[in-house]
Structure 1
Amino acid sequence: MDEKTAELRDIFLDTTGGETVTERQEEGRGSLAAESDADGRIAELVARMRERYEFASDLDDAALQRVVRLFFEDAADAAIAAAVDADEATVFDARMDLHLVRDADREAPFDLAELRSLYVEDVPLAERAAELDADEETVAHYSRVVAADVRSTRANDRFRDEFAELLTESDLKHGLTEDAREDGLREAAEDIETNVSF
Structure 2
Amino acid sequence: MATGSPQTSTVMSAADIDRALTRIAHELVEAQRGVDELILLGIPSRGVPLAQALSERLSRIDPAFDPDSCLGSLDITMYRDDLGSRAARVPEPTRVPARGVDDAVVVLVDDVLYSGRTVRAALDALSDLGRPRAVRLAVLVDRGHRELPIRADHVGKNLPTSRSERVTVRLSAVDGVAEAEQSVVIDRAAAAEEDS
TM (norm. structure 1) is 0.31
Which of the pair has the greater relative contact order for Cα pairs under 8 Å at 6+ separation? 2
Q: Which has the higher strand share?
A: 2
TM (norm. structure 2) is 0.32
Q: Which has the higher helix share?
A: 1
